[in-house]
């Protein structure tokens, strides 16, 4: 007697494949965190990267609004500055300190300093006597256009002065002078960004990358933390701890302390890579001459925010897969907005404003300020306060969830 074939063996292979595919779709429909990772995160990335690259792929770039400081006492320099501001806009300042303050507060986007002796021998404007200061968020394309326009404008000044001195023979004189003789191509106004002026250091790729990816890596503590907390919740460890008088607040405090220490290990590893491995492979070395007090404060606040967010996500999700999808996707989006993937100076102004609302953005501002050697209390302390406030809010939401689980148990 032959065994009766099972129902499974009577399925047509194509039917089985279709039914299994429908099963997978039903499972996906019950996983909103996974769907958000698949659809929402790429959509946000498309928006962020599209606006970020917008100004890098167009021909015309608007010049930054400049503040002017004319230290040259000659009438030609003052007239040149006046005509430029009349055509392009801008403000005039009386001192370098006032101009620097305006750049810091973003009253102006750039500064042009016409140094003493700008109009040199033979009535030639001296490019090395002209300084261009830029705010930290001015795009390189906009900076290049400003320098090119200033160089061309100086060429026009030289031609006007030469014409005025030549009198009726101006056209003959200018016809015999080559452009290279008017303004040598090797000469160009020097450009310095605000962080270089304040710190005296040059922003290199490693000075940008290490703080940015350190912050990003610290926030990814959600992956190991979620695994631990969810496993303890599912196997009853949290209930047994409650029987010994261990409250949800103490559970969160213990995990906060342990994973903040883990962040410090991440920090040491990243610093070793930036200071040792990168130069060994031919890159610039990370400058570790930082103010230790400010550095420790920013790292502690960043770590508290990162671990608190991870605890909140772990407490509010039901499985490790949900926590990993939600935490990983959220961190990637926050990092993209904050300027981790793409420096803020390449972002359009609107997206730069949005980046100021990302916890990673607050942390990145503080980290870069410390690594560039220009920490300032008025700049760092508000960002530290925002990070600690964000951490307290996340811990409160996580605590409420664990408290309800404790009462239910």
Residue carrying structure tokens 């460890």: 237
**Encoded tokens for 129:** 């006597």
pLDDT in the model for residue 176: 44
Arithmetic mean of pLDDT, 357-370? 88
Q: Are 320 and 404 in contact (CB under 8 A)?
A: no
Q: How far apart are CA 207 and CA 135, in angstroms?
A: 17
Stretch 30-58: mean pLDDT: 59
Ramachandran class of 36: left when φ > 0, alpha when ψ lies in -120 to 50, beta otherwise: alpha
Q: Which of 48, 364, 373 is nearest to 212 (CA)?
A: 364
Query: What's the average model confidence in pLDDT over 164-172?
Result: 52
Q: How far is CA 139 from CA 51, 66, 152, 349, in A?
A: 13, 14, 20, 10
Q: What pLDDT shows up at residue 47?
A: 59
In the chain, how many H helices and how many E strands? Answer: 19, 5
Positive or negative, the Cα torsion across 309, 41, 266, 296?
Answer: negative
pLDDT at 180: 40
Task: Return the residue matching tokens 């909103």.
Answer: 32
Residue 277: pLDDT band with limits 50, 70, 90:
confident
The CA distance from 141 to 53, in Å, is: 12
Tens-place pLDDT, residues 315-343: 888 877 778 778 887 888 888 888 887 77
pLDDT above 70: percentage of residues in the chain: 76
Q: Which residue has the higher pLDDT, 41 or 78?
A: 78
pLDDT given at position 50: 58
Overall average pLDDT of the 296-312 stretch? 91
Please give the Cα distance from 156 to 201 (Å, whole number). Answer: 34
What domains appear along the chain, each with residue ranges and CATH number? Answer: 66-199 (3.40.1710), 205-408 (no CATH)
């Amino acid at each position: 007697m032959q065994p009766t074939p099972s129902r499974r063996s009577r399925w047509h292979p194509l039917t089985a494949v279709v039914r299994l595919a429908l099963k997978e779709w039903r499972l996906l429909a019950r996983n909103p965190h996974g769907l958000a990772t698949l659809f929402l995160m790429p959509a946000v990335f498309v928006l962020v990267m599209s606006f970020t690259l917008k100004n890098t792929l167009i021909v015309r770039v608007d010049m930054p609004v400049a503040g002017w400081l004319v230290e040259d006492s000659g009438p030609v320099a003052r007239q040149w500055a006046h005509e430029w501001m009349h055509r392009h806009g801008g403000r005039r300042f009386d001192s370098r300190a006032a101009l620097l303050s305006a750049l810091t507060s973003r009253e102006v986007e750039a500064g042009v300093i016409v140094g003493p002796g700008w109009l040199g021998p033979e009535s030639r404007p001296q490019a090395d006597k002209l300084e261009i200061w830029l705010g930290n968020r001015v795009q390189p394309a906009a900076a290049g256009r400003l320098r090119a326009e200033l160089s061309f404008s100086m060429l026009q000044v030289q031609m006007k002065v030469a014409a005025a001195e030549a009198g009726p023979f101006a056209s003959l004189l200018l016809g015999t002078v080559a452009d290279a003789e008017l303004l040598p191509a090797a000469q160009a106004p020097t450009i310095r960004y605000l962080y270089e002026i304040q710190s005296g250091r040059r922003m290199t790729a490693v000075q940008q990358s290490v703080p940015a990816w350190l912050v990003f890596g610290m926030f990814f503590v959600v992956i190991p933390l979620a695994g631990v907390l969810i496993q303890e919740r599912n196997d009853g460890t949290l209930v047994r701890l409650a029987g010994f008088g261990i409250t949800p607040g103490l559970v969160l405090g213990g995990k906060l302390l342990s994973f903040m220490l883990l962040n410090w290990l991440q920090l040491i590893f990243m610093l070793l890579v930036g200071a040792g491995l990168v130069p060994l492979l031919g890159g610039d070395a990370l400058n570790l001459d930082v103010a230790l007090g400010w550095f420790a404060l920013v790292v502690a606040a960043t770590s508290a925010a990162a671990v608190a967010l991870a605890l909140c996500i772990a407490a509010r999700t039901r499985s490790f897969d949900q926590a990993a999808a939600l935490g990983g996707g959220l961190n990637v989006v926050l990092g993209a907005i904050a300027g981790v993937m793409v420096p803020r100076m390449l972002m359009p102004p609107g997206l730069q404003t949005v980046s100021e609302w990302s916890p990673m953005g607050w942390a990145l501002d503080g980290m870069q300020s410390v690594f560039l050697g220009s920490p300032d209390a008025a700049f760092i302390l508000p960002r530290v306060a925002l990070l600690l406030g964000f951490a307290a809010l996340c811990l409160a939401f996580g605590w409420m969830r664990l408290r309800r689980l404790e009462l239910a148990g």
